[in-house]
Amino acid sequence: MLEKNGFFTYGTAVIVVIISLLLTSPPYCAASKTEVKTIGTVSSFGIYSFKGDLKFNVKGPGKFEIGKITVHGTYNGPYPWIMRVYTDNTNFMPVAGILKTAGRSGLISEDGQFTIPLEVNCPNFGKDVWVSVPDINDESYKPYKPPKEVGKSEYTDRIIVGIDPRNADWVSGRDRILFTDDDNPLGDITISTPFEIKFGAYFDEKNTSGIYTSNLYIELIPAP
């Protein structure tokens, strides 16, 4: 039973003290928000540069690496973009009377009549994976166009690196399935530099002796 002291009980006095403390104390865990001004610039990192050339002297049959190009630098321009490799061998003139030729891609003999198919390898293809280099003048050539479905690409352009969020093959990641945890949303297949682009060809009795050349290009362009 509470004892009385004047007009208030001791219990009432305790309640008054607690209420007084609550009213005079600062707010507990009050929310606070401050805008932090943030602004900066990402400058251009420049563009890729290419060092090396292709010079060869084949003295017997077989498959040979005939040279390599080392890629340096970093490109951070607007995407989508691609780096592709191709030939533009306008000097190819097939031998009259031959019903079928190998096409104008690859190495072309000095007289413009004979070709040796050219292959390329880079880290994106795999360590020992060599693929053909197309010529943009061949009837079978199809320029790059990003496939909307995995495994449905139709282009013959040989892509070295690139960034294209529209390319289902690149976005789908290693499991080749869209909308899974390993998706690559930007379609980013770039490689840390420096890296090498290697070129090779197979030489046999069908390749007449003489000098061979190629109008070979490595090109960085906006993806259509």
pLDDT of residue 16: 46
Of the chain, the percentage scoring pLDDT greater than 70 comes to: 83
Instruction: Write out pLDDT tens, residues 17-72.
Output: 444 544 555 555 678 999 999 999 999 899 999 999 999 999 999 999 999 999 99
Convert the pLDDT of each residue in 150-161 to its tens digit. 999 999 999 999
Give kind and range of the element (H or E) at residue 218: strand 216-222
Structure confidence at residue 30 (pLDDT): 72
| Furthest-apart CA atoms within the chain: distance in Å | 129
Which tokens in the block code for residue 47? 């563009």
**Burial (CB count <10 Å: 0-12, 13-18, 19+), residue 183:** middle
pTM value is 0.79
